[in-house]
C-alpha cells in the first residue's frame, strides 16, 4: 500500500498479524518501508536492473533496518528515514546511469567522484532537458544565469542547498537593486530544482515555499516619443563611430540587438537596399529579407570596412561583434537623459509607430519578422509582402527624417 513516509509515521505504521506488509513511499518511486509481523521495520528499494542476470526483472534490495531513535542510527544497518531515502536515491541513479544491481552486489552503489555537485547537476540539466526542448533559444542564457548566480554553490553537493540559500541569493539581488534579475533567477532555479527532484537527484526542491521576490515587474511595453527619438539620435551623433551608427540602425530597422551586432557585409545588398538576415541568426529560425530605407543605407555605407573582418559593427577583438553592452548602455543613458533606455525599446517603438502610420498588422509583423500567428490559416500565406514592407519602413524613416532634419536631409553638410 502507498503512503507518504515521514519521520513521524515510519515507526507507527501498523504491524500485520502475519507475514509482512510493505508501505510504498509516494515521493520516491520504488522506495518502501517493509514491516513484518514480528515488528521488524526495514527500508527496501524495488527496481528493474538494466544489466546482469536479473536484467528487466523486478528486484528488491534491502537497504537497512529502521533505527528506533535517530541517536541509534549507525549509518549502516540501522538507518533513519532520511538516510535510507538518500541511499535509495543514489542507488536509483547508479542503477540508471551505471547499470549496477545493489541486490546482487550486496552493497550500496557508489557514485563516481562523490555526491553530485550543483555545477554538475546544472550541466546535466542543460544537456538532458534544456537542449532537448523544441525551439528552445534560451539554453545559453539559462546556463549562464544558473552558473553565475549560483557561483557560491558550484562545488557544493546538490542535496545540501537549502531554502535559506535560495532566500539569501534573492535577497542579495534585491539589495543590489536588481529586482528583474531576482525574478529571472528565481524562475530559472525553480525549474532547475523541479527537474532535479523529478530525476531523483534530490528529495525536495529548496525553492518549495519560496515566493517570487518582486511583484512590481511591468511588461516590456516602453516605446519612445518624438522628443525621445530626437534625443537618442543626437546622442548617437555625439557618441559617433560604430556605436553611434549602431544606435541609428537599431532605431530605423527595429531589429534585435544581437541581430544588428552580428550584421555582416555579405548580408547586405546596399545597391538594392536589402538586408537578408539568415535563418541561423534569426530568433524564429526563418530567413528574412528586410527592405532598407535610403536613410539606413546611407548610415551603413558610411561604416568603414576592415580587412578580413566580415562584421559591419566589429568589436575590439578581431572577428568578434560589438560587446561591452553595460558600459555602452550607461553612456546612452547619460547622453540622452533617459534613465529607462533599453535597446529593445527601439523595437517596440518601430512597431508602435508603424501602427500610428496606418500600416496593417500583418505587414507590421512581416517588418518585425514575427512568427505567424497560430490560426486556422497558419502556414498557407507564403506571400512575402516585400513591397508593402518597403512602403512601411520608408514611411518610418521619413518620419524620423522630419524629426531630425525638419528642413530636409539635403541641408546636412559634412
Report the percentage of the chain scoring pLDDT > 70.
89
Residues 334 and 369 in one domain: yes
Residues 246 and 308 in one domain: yes
Residues 41/68, Cβ–Cβ less than 8 Å: no
Whether 205 is in a domain gets the answer no
pLDDT tens digits, residue range 179-216? 888 999 999 999 999 999 888 888 889 999 999 998 87
Whether 209 is in a domain gets the answer no
Q: In the structure, what pLDDT confidence band is assigned to residue 112 with cuts at 50, 70 and 90? A: very low
Residues 284 and 361 in one domain: yes
pLDDT of 78 above 90? no
| CATH code: domain of residue 30 | 3.30.160.390
pLDDT tens digits, residue range 240-293? 999 999 999 999 999 999 999 999 999 999 999 999 999 888 877 788 899 999
How high is the pLDDT of residue 62?
A: 86
Whether 218 is in a domain gets the answer no
Residues 179 and 272 in one domain: no
Q: Which of 198, 214, 236 finishes a domain?
A: 198
Residues 384 and 327 in one domain: yes
Residues 284 and 346 in one domain: yes
Boundaries of domain holding 167: 118-198
Whether 210 is in a domain gets the answer no
What residue spans of 137-277 are helical by DSSP H?
139-149, 163-175, 179-198, 226-239, 241-253, 257-261
pLDDT tens digits, residue range 382-397? 677 889 999 999 999 9
pLDDT of 114 above 60? no
Whether 270 is in a domain gets the answer yes
Q: What is the reported pTM? A: 0.54
Whether 221 is in a domain gets the answer no
Whether 204 is in a domain gets the answer no
Q: How far apart are CA 210 and CA 66, in angstroms?
A: 32
Sequence-separated (6 or more) residues with CB below 8 Å from residue 211: none
Q: In the structure, what pLDDT confidence band is assigned to residue 172 with cuts at 50, 70 and 90? A: very high
Residues 47 and 151 in one domain: no
Q: How far apart are CA 105 and CA 103, in angstroms?
A: 6
Nearest to 365 by CA among 377, 354, 378: 354
How high is the pLDDT of residue 157?
A: 84
pLDDT of 407 above 70? yes
Q: How far apart are CA 153 and CA 247, in angstroms?
A: 39
Residues 280 and 250 in one domain: yes
Phi, psi of 387 (to 5 degrees): -65, -35
Residues 405 and 337 in one domain: yes
Residues 130 and 253 in one domain: no
| CATH code: domain of residue 340 | 1.10.443.10
How high is the pLDDT of residue 109?
A: 43
Q: Which of 109-118, 210-219, 298-307 has the lowest mean pLDDT?
A: 109-118
How high is the pLDDT of residue 111?
A: 40
Residues 101 and 122 in one domain: no
pLDDT tens digits, residue range 12-67? 999 988 778 899 998 888 999 999 888 889 999 988 888 877 777 888 888 888 88
Whether 93 is in a domain gets the answer yes
Q: Total domain count for the chain?
A: 3
Residues 263 and 338 in one domain: yes
Q: Which of 39, 74, 105 finishes a domain?
A: 105
Amino acid at each position: 500500500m502507498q503512503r507518504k513516509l515521514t519521520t513521524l509515521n515510519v515507526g507507527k505504521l501498523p504491524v500485520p498479524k502475519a507475514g509482512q506488509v510493505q508501505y510504498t513511499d509516494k515521493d520516491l518511486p520504488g522506495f518502501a518501508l517493509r514491516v513484518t509481523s514480528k515488528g521488524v521495520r526495514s527500508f527496501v528499494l524495488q527496481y528493474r536492473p538494466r544489466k546482469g542476470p536479473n536484467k528487466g526483472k523486478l528486484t528488491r534490495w534491502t537497504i537497512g533496518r529502521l533505527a528506533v531513535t535517530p541517536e541509534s542510527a549507525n549509518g549502516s544497518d540501522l538507518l533513519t528515514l532520511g538516510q535510507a531515502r538518500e541511499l535509495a536515491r543514489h542507488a536509483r541513479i547508479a542503477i540508471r546511469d551505471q547499470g549496477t544491481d545493489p541486490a546482487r552486489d550486496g552493497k550500496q552503489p557508489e557514485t563516481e567522484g562523490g555526491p553530485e555537485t550543483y555545477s554538475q547537476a546544472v550541466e546535466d540539466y542543460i544537456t538532458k532537458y534544456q537542449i532537448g526542448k523544441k525551439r528552445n533559444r534560451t539554453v545559453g542564457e539559462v546556463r549562464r544565469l544558473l552558473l553565475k548566480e549560483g557561483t557560491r554553490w558550484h562545488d557544493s553537493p546538490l542535496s545540501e542547498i537549502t531554502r535559506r540559500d535560495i532566500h539569501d541569493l534573492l535577497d542579495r539581488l534585491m539589495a543590489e537593486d536588481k529586482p528583474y534579475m531576482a525574478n529571472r533567477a528565481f524562475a530559472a532555479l525553480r525549474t532547475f530544482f523541479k527537474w532535479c527532484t523529478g530525476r531523483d537527484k534530490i528529495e525536495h526542491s529548496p525553492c518549495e515555499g519560496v515566493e517570487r521576490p518582486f511583484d512590481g515587474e511591468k511588461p516590456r511595453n516602453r516605446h519612445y516619443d518624438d522628443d525621445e527619438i530626437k534625443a537618442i539620435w543626437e546622442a548617437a551623433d555625439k557618441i559617433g563611430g560604430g556605436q553611434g551608427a549602431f544606435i541609428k540602425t537599431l532605431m530605423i530597422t527595429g531589429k534585435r540587438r544581437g541581430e544588428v551586432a552580428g550584421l555582416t557585409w555579405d548580408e547586405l545588398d546596399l545597391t538594392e537596399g536589402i538586408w537578408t538576415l539568415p535563418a541561423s541568426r534569426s530568433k524564429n529560425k526563418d530567413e528574412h529579407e528586410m527592405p532598407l530605407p535610403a536613410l539606413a543605407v546611407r548610415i551603413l555605407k558610411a561604416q568603414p570596412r576592415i580587412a578580413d573582418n566580415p562584421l559591419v559593427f566589429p568589436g575590439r577583438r578581431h572577428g568578434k561583434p560589438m560587446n561591452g553592452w553595460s558600459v555602452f548602455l550607461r553612456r546612452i543613458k547619460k547622453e540622452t537623459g533617459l534613465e529607462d533606455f533599453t535597446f529593445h525599446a527601439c523595437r517596440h517603438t518601430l512597431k508602435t509607430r508603424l501602427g500610428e502610420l496606418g500600416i496593417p498588422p500583418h505587414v507590421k509583423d512581416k517588418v518585425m519578422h514575427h512568427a505567424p500567428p497560430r490560426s486556422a490559416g497558419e502556414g498557407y500565406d507564403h506571400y512575402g509582402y516585400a513591397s508593402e514592407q518597403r512602403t512601411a519602413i520608408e514611411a518610418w524613416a521619413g518620419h524620423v527624417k522630419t524629426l531630425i532634419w525638419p528642413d530636409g536631409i539635403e541641408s546636412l553638410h559634412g
